């Protein structure tokens, strides 16, 4: 059999299995070595191909599709530094548990490490940052090797999906000529008439004995709290709320827990803790005797410090993905069990509590904090906090809010409160980078509509190239750029007290007018004048298509002052509440 | 001693040694974890700090400075995916032998792999793609640890510089608080009053016996050729020309050999081989009996094929950096010796040849090929080949021409002929990526002026962010964008014969008007109308400052036809020459 026939049969088997494994979307960056894989993929009727020139953006775009769809997405590039550009998104996928199938074309063995063009060392290119690496065999037409090609694909997809989900990397050594023989029966696979491997994944569940022991130990607890960090399980919200009701525990809901917005009961949701857990009197009042934590670590530093300060109490970490999510070294129990399953089972077995005293305190303090913070609504000047307060009102039901790292996610945490609008909140909180946010959001926008992206100017700049996807694939997205001309978060960090090198090293004003870039990518751009103008434009563009960018200019120093003033007001208000309620027992 | 004092002393010792090691330039991307290193660097009087938000561009920018200055350059970023963005430039540095010191801040041990924010696995983050990796100890004030900090820095710089030069990676675990104590005596180092380690690097040189054996074996050769690929040794041009004269061997000079332009004798330089080595009759006429090759593999595929077809003859590869640069598996001798030293020593010892018959053939065919190719000068339409032909005339003496990968480097190879203008030609030919070209060129522009960058539209797009450096650092650069609206090289590859998926997967037209982006970065943009306009604008802007972009729109299909027509003309012309000269012996 010829080289071409072997190449074709081997890759067609792989691609057929890929489609069968649940992969619908493939993001391809053009290149020469990857030609045969790309051509075979283009022939498959069930695959959506997205062509994205910049591999860094391409990988983040795929990450966004995978996050939003909860399905594995494949990325394909040629040999060389192209593949290295995937690295940031791969690391983000690994830590935030998103299934990606990374397919890289490579030079064959005889062209490696011998000075051949565009040849780098792609073996274990991503080190520990993928769940599985396979150096594929060179394409081969023999039946065993066709079966091998299919097996690796099925197994790779299963590995990527298996919780904790993550990226896998398959490296394909390909020899010239790189042209497959595209014929009508490409995906008919006589070598395996019995069909595909079907994969069924189990979930981690505890034995009844272990569950009963945990349940018994929880029954005695009167001051328990539940902390929900970023988690992406759609059954989780209902399950954890039921558990909390049963135990009468407050639920501290991180913005990415998907508990801040939805049809589930909001009564037990605590959403202003990032503000009120800054105060000593509050923290003393709310000292818990047990903490049950689900999901990744929450964004809030105040909450982290609170949990750290309570390291003498029982802290239970539940993780269906067998990680070790305990940066505070505060865990007393590490429970490896599916989070929804755990919540449901414990709810069924535990005696309902009728002591709501501790919960009441959380609810009261939370309520007053939100009341005071809502004063931000009266601020006339454009500000970062008020934006998120308004978005809870303005966003349409069922929309997706993608939020950038650094300050936006923190301001969201502080000012975006519980509502029933089923707004899905997304972010890249695996490694918390400012890179790739535009592309990840645009990937998500292919799945979830309408999608709103809020991010800072440095983050927007970092992935401007990502906008190309919106132009080429005609995506609809509303982007709100908070432009404080530099790195706003540094004003909140200790270096702000050292003015000598501050602006140069940390403030880093770029002085860019993004209007130009948005024009280049065929979007519309509006520089927001004031809040009335913002609301007016926001409502106008809801039905418009394409890229819509609203820029809100803010001032880093003023923003810092606004935050500090609000924190002071809350502190005064809450101290009063605690005193008058005689909480200071 | 306090945490702060230990942090300060340890990092100040490191930074003092860094400056002493010959590092002048540091490219810093802003971040929180790297704060103490950045602040200490900012205090050092001998270091130039360049602040660059996008780490991918930042690393390539540093690569450009290091390439142009031949000095090690340091890059510094915070923890997380920031560091992963460095990967493409690090790989390019490794393969193209450029000294980079990669400094990454990291979370301390207790915050690793426990779900802490912005914490990824940075141990051996770049795998085999750095020459040396060191996980630094946590900062420590003890004398032994101060000495350790200095030793690692000195050794890292020496390792980066040592031929083959390349990147080294030092990872710094840093604990909060991250603020050093910046005092006046920061760089006074009482712990090591004896001063710095001085490092003296030797070069590889052969024993006299080995050299004599090689010399003796060369004396008998009458049909020898010298191939010079990319090489960055300023003593090499003179040395190899002397060797070639002595042996009467033609010198096939890759554009990046630095032999195509300079004050050295051009008589023996063969610069049109990429065209004429496509023809069977020429190849038969020019069959060699020995090939001596220096530097990385040349760009020309025609030359590679020619060398591969002559694998039965002696092929000597000389490499001062102990690589294995032999993708054709054609080497008969691998000589590990400094290239200039080898050339000088052999020149001294070898008997001068008086048989120039073989050299004459190369010179004659080269001369006629250039004559025919120069017909491109009469083409009225904007074309990619003619551009490089004109640039040899238009570029000022002593300027630097940075050229993008894919088609530009190939067209340069075909159409940019030997001249005496001492034009330095640069490119990223380690991994031949289309990524990071703008930034690498801008880094080089901080060292070499005036600098001209020629690249395609996809390459320009890939690193548009890189232009920020030109804006913020007020760099002068002329950028010529060959805009054929997509991937021009694919029209020359076999997939061009498969129109079904061609435009989608390979042509990839982006339809971008770069005018907007150039405006955003404060540059001037001219869309070239015709060749008269081009020459006029080119001369006008020579003395202008800032970013100047000239866009030349070309057509991919027409470009392919133009190349093919020229190759046909050359083929006819040269066949005639060979026949009439009775070369076909």
Q: Look up the ipTM and state it.
A: 0.97
- Smallest Cβ–Cβ distance between A432 and the set B80, B84, B471 belongs to B80
Q: Which residue of B has its CA nearest to A31?
A: B506
> What is the total residue count of chain B?
585
Q: Residues 460-499, chain A: which have Cβ within 8 Å of B?
A: 461-462, 464-465, 468, 471-472, 487, 489-490, 493-495, 497-498
Residues in A touching B81 (Cβ below 8 Å): 87-88, 91-92, 431, 433, 435-436
Considering the segment(s) A3-177 as one domain, its CATH architecture is 3-Layer(aba) Sandwich (3.40)
**Residue A47 touches chain B, beta carbons under 8 Å:** no
- Give the CATH superfamily of B3-187: Thiamin diphosphate (ThDP)-binding fold, Pyr/PP domains (3.40.50.970)
Output phi, psi for A293, to 5 deg: -120, 135
Pairing of strands B25-28, B224-228: unpaired
**CA distances for B69 relative to B24, B73, B371, angstroms:** 10, 9, 36
A340-392 pLDDT, tens per residue?
999 999 999 999 999 999 999 999 999 999 999 999 999 899 988 999 999 99
Residues in A touching B494 (Cβ below 8 Å): 177-179
B110: which DSSP letter?
G
Tokens encoding A342: 């755990």
Using only C-alpha atoms, what is the Rg of chain B?
Answer: 26
Q: What is the CATH number of domain B208-371+571-580?
A: 3.40.50.1220
pLDDT of residue A139: 97
Tokens encoding A582: 């005689």
Q: For residue A535, how far is the Cα from the chain centroid?
A: 28
d(CA A136, CA A36): 15
Q: Residues 70-129, chain A: which have Cβ within 8 Å of B?
A: 80-82, 84-85, 87-88, 90-92, 95, 110-111, 113-121, 124-125, 127-129
- pLDDT higher than 60, residue A584: no
Answer for the pair A327, A219: CB distance below 8 angstroms, yes or no. Answer: no
pLDDT of residue B192: 63
pLDDT of residue A487: 87
d(CA A431, CA A428): 7
Q: Where in chain B is the domain with CATH 3.40.50.1220?
A: 208-371+571-580
B66-79 pLDDT, tens per residue?
999 999 999 999 99
| Mean pLDDT confidence for A563-571 | 94
Q: Interhelix angle for B35-43 vs B3-20, to 10°?
A: 50
A419: which DSSP letter?
B
Query: Looking at CA atoms only, how far is residue A282 from chain B in angstroms?
Result: 25
- CA nearest to B96, candidates B333, B405, B475, B395: B405
Q: Which residue of B has its CA nearest to A44?
A: B501
- CA nearest to B407, candidates B327, B466, B492, B513: B492
HSE-up of A263 (CA within 13 Å, CB side)?
4
In total, the C-beta contacts within 8 angstroms joining chain A to chain B are 253
Q: Where in chain A is the domain with CATH 3.40.50.970?
A: 3-177, 379-556
A132-178 pLDDT, tens per residue?
999 999 999 998 999 999 999 999 999 999 999 999 999 999 999 99
Q: Please name every residue paired with A336 in a beta bridge, in sequence order, or none if there are none.
A: none
List, in order, residues 6 or more apart from A423 with CB less than 8 Å away: A260, A261, A392, A395, A397, A398, A399, A400, A401
The alpha carbon dihedral of B49, B50, B55, B56 has a sign of negative
Q: Please name every residue paired with B74 in a beta bridge, in sequence order, or none if there are none.
A: B26, B101
Q: Which residues of chain B have pLDDT under 70?
A: 1, 190-194, 582-585
Tokens encoding B299: 């760009």
Provide the mean pLDDT of chain A.
95
Considering the segment(s) A208-371 as one domain, its CATH architecture is 3-Layer(aba) Sandwich (3.40)
The 10 Å CB-count burial string (b at 16+, else e) for B309-320 is bbeebbbbbbbb
Tokens 């913002």 — which residue?
Answer: A534
Answer for the pair B52, B28: CB distance below 8 angstroms, yes or no. Answer: yes
Q: Please name every residue paired with B100 in a beta bridge, in sequence order, or none if there are none.
A: B73, B167
The 10 Å CB-count burial string (b at 16+, else e) for A159-184 is bbbbbbbbbbbbbbbbbeebbbebee
Query: Looking at CA atoms only, how far is residue B131 from chain A in angstroms?
Result: 13
Answer for the pair A34, A28: CB distance below 8 angstroms, yes or no. Answer: yes
CATH topology assigned to domain A379-556: Rossmann fold (3.40.50)
Is B517 within 8 Å of A513 when comparing Cβ atoms? Answer: no
Tokens encoding A165: 């989900």
Output phi, psi for A375, to 5 deg: -60, -20
Residues in A touching B127 (Cβ below 8 Å): 121, 124-125, 127
Q: Where in chain A is the domain with CATH 3.40.50.1220?
A: 208-371
**CA distances for A204 relative to A168, A317, A318, B181, angstroms:** 22, 14, 11, 50
Residues in A touching B38 (Cβ below 8 Å): 501, 505
pLDDT of residue A226: 98
Q: Is A455 helix (H, G, I), strand (E, B) or coil?
A: strand
Q: What is the pTM of this model?
A: 0.97
Q: If you classify domain B384-553 with CATH, what class do you get?
A: alpha beta
Query: Looking at CA atoms only, how far is residue B132 from chain A in angstroms?
Result: 16
- Smallest Cβ–Cβ distance between A517 and the set B32, B38, B517 belongs to B517
* H or E element in which residue A566 lies: helix A556-581
- CA nearest to B181, candidates B22, B43, B66, B274: B43
Output phi, psi for B334, to 5 deg: -110, 110
Strand A400-403: give its sheet, edge to edge: A424-426, A400-403, A451-456, A477-483, A547-553, A524-527
Output phi, psi for A28, to 5 deg: -115, 130
Q: Where in chain B is the domain with CATH 3.40.50.970?
A: 3-187, 384-553
Instruction: Classify residue B202 as exposed, middle or buried by CB count within 10 Å of its CB (0-12, 13-18, 19+).
Output: exposed
pLDDT of residue A585: 47
Which of A291-300, A393-402, A493-502, B310-319 has the least mean pLDDT?
A: A493-502
Answer for the pair A577, A279: CB distance below 8 angstroms, yes or no. Answer: no
Query: Looking at CA atoms only, how far is residue A127 from chain B in angstroms?
Result: 6
Answer for the pair A289, A247: CB distance below 8 angstroms, yes or no. Answer: no
Helices within A380-530 (DSSP H only)? 384-394, 407-415, 437-445, 457-462, 467-472, 502, 515-520
pLDDT of residue B206: 96
Residues in A touching B124 (Cβ below 8 Å): 127
Query: Looking at CA atoms only, how far is residue B364 from chain A in angstroms?
Result: 30
A261: which DSSP letter?
B
pLDDT of residue B194: 63
Q: Which residue of A has its CA nearest to B108?
A: A327
Q: Give the DSSP letter string of A500-547.
A: GGHIIIII------THHHHHHTT-EEEE--SHHHHHHHHHHHTT--SE
B260: which DSSP letter?
S
d(CA B124, CA B488): 37
**CA distances for A303 relative to A203, A227, A279, A315, A367, angstroms:** 29, 9, 11, 14, 17
d(CA B319, CA B325): 8
- Mutate which: A327, A507, A511, A517, vs B, most B CBs within 10 A: A327
Percent of residues, chain A, with pLDDT higher than 70: 98
**Residue A297 touches chain B, beta carbons under 8 Å:** yes
List, in order, residues 6 or more apart from B174 with CB less than 8 Å away: B7, B33, B34, B36, B37, B105, B106, B107, B108, B138, B139
List, in order, residues 6 or more apart from B505 with CB less than 8 Å away: A28, A30, A35, A38, A39, A42, A49, A51, B495
d(CA A186, CA A584): 74
pLDDT of residue B585: 47
d(CA A19, CA A305): 46
Output phi, psi for B540, to 5 deg: -60, -45
The 10 Å CB-count burial string (b at 16+, else e) for B138-156 is ebbbeeebbebbbebbbbb
d(CA B241, CA B265): 7
């Amino acid at each position: 059999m010829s080289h071409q026939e072997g190449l074709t049969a081997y890759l067609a088997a792989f691609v057929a299995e890929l489609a069968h494994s649940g992969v619908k979307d493939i993001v391809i960056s053009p290149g020469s070595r990857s030609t045969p894989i790309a051509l075979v993929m283009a022939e498959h009727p069930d695959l959506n191909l997205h062509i994205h020139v910049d591999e860094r953006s391409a990988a983040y775009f795929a990450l966004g599709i995978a996050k939003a769809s909860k399905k594995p997405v494949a990325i394909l590039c040629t040999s060389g530094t192209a593949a290295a550009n995937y690295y940031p998104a791969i690391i983000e996928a690994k830590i935030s548990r998103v299934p990606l199938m990374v397919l890289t074309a490579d030079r064959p063995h005889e062209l490696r490490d011998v000075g051949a063009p565009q040849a780098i060392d792609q073996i274990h290119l991503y080190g520990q940052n993928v769940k599985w690496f396979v150096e594929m065999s060179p394409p081969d037409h023999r039946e065993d090797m066709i079966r091998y090609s299919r097996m690796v694909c099925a197994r790779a997809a299963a590995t990527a999906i298996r919780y904790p989900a993550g990226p896998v990397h398959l490296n394909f050594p390909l020899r010239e000529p790189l042209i497959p023989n595209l014929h009508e029966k490409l995906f008919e696979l006589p070598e395996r008439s019995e069909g595909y491997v079907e994969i069924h994944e189990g979930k981690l569940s505890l034995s009844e004995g272990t569950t009963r022991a945990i349940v018994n130990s929880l029954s005695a607890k009167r001051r328990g709290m539940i902390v929900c960090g970023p988690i992406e399980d759609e059954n989780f919200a209902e399950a954890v709320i039921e558990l909390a009701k049963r135990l009468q525990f407050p639920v501290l809901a991180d913005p990415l827990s998907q508990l801040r917005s939805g049809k589930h009961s909001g009564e037990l949701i605590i959403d202003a803790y990032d503000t009120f857990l800054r105060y000593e009197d509050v923290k003393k009042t709310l000292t818990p005797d047990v903490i049950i934590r689900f999901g990744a670590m929450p964004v809030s530093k105040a909450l982290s410090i609170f949990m750290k300060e309570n390291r003498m109490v029982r802290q239970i970490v539940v993780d269906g993905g067998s990680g070790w999510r305990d940066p505070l070294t505060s865990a007393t129990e590490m429970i490896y069990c599916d989070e929804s399953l755990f919540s449901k089972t414990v709810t069924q077995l535990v005696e309902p509590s009728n002591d709501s005293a501790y919960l009441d305190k959380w609810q009261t303090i939370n309520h007053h904090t939100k009341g005071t913070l809502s004063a931000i609504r009266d601020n006339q000047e454009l500000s970062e906090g008020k934006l998120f307060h308004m978005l809870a009102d303005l966003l349409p039901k069922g929309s997706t809010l993608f939020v950038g790292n650094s300050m936006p996610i923190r301001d969201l945490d502080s000012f975006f409160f519980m509502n029933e609008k089923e707004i899905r909140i997304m972010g890249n909180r695996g490694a918390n980078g400012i890179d790739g946010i535009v592309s990840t959001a645009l990937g998500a926008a292919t799945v979830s509509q309408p999608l709103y992206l809020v991010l800072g100017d440095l983050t927007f700049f970092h992935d401007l190239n990502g906008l190309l996807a919106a132009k080429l694939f005609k995506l609809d997205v509303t982007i709100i750029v908070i432009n404080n001309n530099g790195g706003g978060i540094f004003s909140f960090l200790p270096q702000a007290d050292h003015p000598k090198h501050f602006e140069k090293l940390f403030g880093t004003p770029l002085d860019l007018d993004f209007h130009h870039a948005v024009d280049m990518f065929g979007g519309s751009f509006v520089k927001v004048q004031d809040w009335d103008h913002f609301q007016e434009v926001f409502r106008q563009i809801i039905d418009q298509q394409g890229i819509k960018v609203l820029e809100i200019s803010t001032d880093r120093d003023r923003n810092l002052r606004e935050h500090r003033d609000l924190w002071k007001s809350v502190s005064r208000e809450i101290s009063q509440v605690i005193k008058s309620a005689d909480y200071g027992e």
